[in-house]
Structure 1
Amino acid sequence: MRVFLAGATGAVGRLLVPELVAAGHDVTGLIRRPEAAEGLRSKGAESVLADIYDAAAIAEAVAAAEPDVVMHQLTDLANQNYSANMEIRRTGTRNLVDAAAAAGVRKVIAQSIAWAYAPDDEGGDEPATEQDPLDLGADGARRHTVAAVAALEDIVAEAPEWVVLRYGLFYGPGTWYAKGALMDDAVRAGKLAPTADVTSFLHIADAATAAVQALEWPTGPVNVVDDEPVAGSVWVPAFARSVGAPEPAAVDSERTPWARGADNHYARKHLKWVPRYPSWRSGFVA
């Protein structure tokens, strides 16, 4: 297939490009810095320089690439700028999907998140499935995050065929959860509390592999998370050990209702996705 990849130089994209090429796909990666072109070329991919917020330039870039699939792996979190990330979910996604439609591209695949689900209606603690609603009734900052996620997913669903990859919390090389990265600093500073909130993790390498396989997946959202949702009281001390930081003291807390993790049964059993790191336990050590 011919794949137009937005986010080709990001945490997922850096691993995804060589996997796509190795699988026999022709890749055109969207870049925003000219110096990134050589890196993509060395991995066997072409590149196109354009600003995701320039709708006309994106339309021209997608049309010139003549892709079979447009893949959206863009984020904007380098400076912990959550507003910028919400804007890329709204406007960046709008521009990509419009460009795909204008070029006659049938399939769009996009990165989303697996922690935007609403609490269980019955107050339970079961991990969320793809059938559960997003938390559109959330309060405060979470309300804005979930609204942007919902906007992204609604826009992507305009395509004739689409897959939304609801990724777990990334860890591993190039992410915030790695030795020497943001959360290493946070746990050393005592700013990463081991609470009762439950998280579903995903190694960054497994995110890339899922994206390649999604080229063949049917339309719909997919939870792409590891097998073991885990409370912060368990994973935070384990993460601290994995980066060589002191373990934080335990805290007494109740689980936030929406923080219940996500279930990967659909991806595992029906789509035959098999994560390289089925648990954060082995992944943190690796």
Structure 2
Amino acid sequence: MKIFVTGATGVIGKSLIAALVEKGYIVGGMTTSDSKIEVLQALGATAYVGNILEKEQVEAIIQDFQPNIIIHQVTALQHGRVEDNAKVRAIGTRHLVEAAKKTNSKRLIAQSIAWAYEPGDTIAIEETPLDVNAIGRRKITIDGIVALESAIQEIPDSVILRYGSLYGPGTWYDSQGLIAQQYLRGEMVVNDGITSFIHIEDAVKATIEAIDWEPGIYNIADDEPVKNSVWGRYYAEQLKASPPKYIDGKDQWERGAFNQKAKEAGLHLRFPSWRKGFIMEE
């Protein structure tokens, strides 16, 4: 079985490739930088350098590797611009889907997000509509997600994984990450909105488990959707930082996501609660 991973040197991609290789899959990965070729090769993958925004490059790479399964993990978060991330989700995914149609790539598994649902007072499930009426920067993000999911579903045997907020080593929430540093500087503000988290290790496990799941959309989150004011105080304690500032209220789209469908499909969590996962090792 040959599996190709886009976003191969990202926070999920590297761990995912290592785990796939360990399980005996033949793995290929795409990165945007020549300097990261050795990283992929050291993990046991066939390395390709390419830009997912360049259609010809994507098609040539997929044609060369001939994967049975493509796992799509590309993001563009390094500069913090939602426009960049939406662009790779919309245009890059389109290129990948068209390339898959021209090869024997029968299954696509793609990263999406579990905080794209429309406003509401209940925890969201997969059938909850996406927030297509969003405005401002959120609209840019939602438009990218809608384009990604629409393109992926053109492949009948496709799985869309709507990850909760990723935390753990290498993410914005690790002790050196962006959010941790904002907490340590006393810059964070929390409210009563609901967040669903997923530890990076569980996100990787779920992605591999999804190889055998039925086609469809799945929320990949832990068992404990939580108010931002609650996890924020707990997280600050783990960091030994001052408690975050609190403001009353929330955005109505901050509603969290249930994981029941994924658990019925076979999702197994090492960190069923963010409380365990947020504990910082000394």
TM-score (norm 2): 0.96
Q: Kindly indicate whether the alpha-carbon contact (under 8 Å) linking 2:187 and 2:244 is maintained by their aligned counterparts in 1.
A: no
What is residue 159 of structure 2 aligned with on the other side?
163
What is residue 172 of structure 1 aligned with on the other side?
168
Q: Kindly indicate whether the alpha-carbon contact (under 8 Å) linking 2:112 and 2:161 is maintained by their aligned counterparts in 1.
A: yes
Shift of 1:45: 1.2
Q: Kindly indicate whether the alpha-carbon contact (under 8 Å) linking 1:178 and 1:243 is maintained by their aligned counterparts in 2.
A: no
Q: Is the aligned partner of 1:195 residue 2:175?
A: no
Cα distance per residue 1:59-103 (max 9 Å; x no partner): 010011010011110101012121111101011111111111111
Q: Is the aligned partner of 1:223 residue 2:207?
A: no
Shift of 1:37: 1.6
Helix, strand or coil for the counterpart of 2:189? coil
Q: Kindly indicate whether the alpha-carbon contact (under 8 Å) linking 2:219 and 2:257 is maintained by their aligned counterparts in 1.
A: yes
Shift of 1:257: 1.4
Counterpart AA for 2:217: P
Q: Is the aligned partner of 1:105 residue 2:100?
A: no
Helix, strand or coil for the counterpart of 1:28? strand
Q: Kindly indicate whether the alpha-carbon contact (under 8 Å) linking 2:69 and 2:107 is maintained by their aligned counterparts in 1.
A: yes
Shift of 1:240: 1.3
What is residue 28 of structure 2 aligned with on the other side?
28
Counterpart AA for 1:27: V
Helix, strand or coil for the counterpart of 2:190? coil
What is residue 284 of structure 1 aligned with on the other side?
278
For 1:146 and 1:187, locate their aligned partners in 2 and report how far apart those are by CA, in whole Å: 27
For 1:68 and 1:236, locate their aligned partners in 2 and report how far apart those are by CA, in whole Å: 42
Helix, strand or coil for the counterpart of 2:93? helix
Q: Is the aligned partner of 1:147 residue 2:143?
A: yes
Cα distance per residue 1:123-154 (max 9 Å; x no partner): x3x21001111010122221221111111000
For 1:4 and 1:281, locate their aligned partners in 2 and report how far apart those are by CA, in whole Å: 34
Shift of 1:160: 2.3
Q: Kindly indicate whether the alpha-carbon contact (under 8 Å) linking 2:114 and 2:219 is maintained by their aligned counterparts in 1.
A: yes
Counterpart AA for 1:258: W
What is residue 267 of structure 1 aligned with on the other side?
262
Identity of aligned residues (%): 38
Counterpart AA for 2:257: A
What is residue 136 of structure 1 aligned with on the other side?
132
Q: Kindly indicate whether the alpha-carbon contact (under 8 Å) linking 1:112 and 1:149 is maintained by their aligned counterparts in 2.
A: yes
Q: Is the aligned partner of 1:257 residue 2:252?
A: yes
Helix, strand or coil for the counterpart of 1:285? coil
Moved over 2 A (4+): 188-191
For 1:12 and 1:134, locate their aligned partners in 2 and report how far apart those are by CA, in whole Å: 24
Structure 2: segments with no counterpart, 5+ residues: none
For 2:208 and 2:42, locate their aligned partners in 1 and report how far apart those are by CA, in whole Å: 19
Name the CA shift for 1:252/1:42 in 2 (closer, same or farther; >3 Å).
closer
Counterpart AA for 1:272: G
For 1:284 and 1:262, locate their aligned partners in 2 and report how far apart those are by CA, in whole Å: 19
Counterpart AA for 1:119: P
Helix, strand or coil for the counterpart of 2:11? coil
Helix, strand or coil for the counterpart of 1:12? helix
Length, aligned pairs only: 280
Cα distance per residue 1:196-244 (max 9 Å; x no partner): 0110011111111111111111111100001100111101111112222
For 1:266 and 1:130, locate their aligned partners in 2 and report how far apart those are by CA, in whole Å: 8
Structure 1: segments with no counterpart, 5+ residues: none
Q: Kindly indicate whether the alpha-carbon contact (under 8 Å) linking 1:107 and 1:161 is maintained by their aligned counterparts in 2.
A: yes
What is residue 239 of structure 2 aligned with on the other side?
243
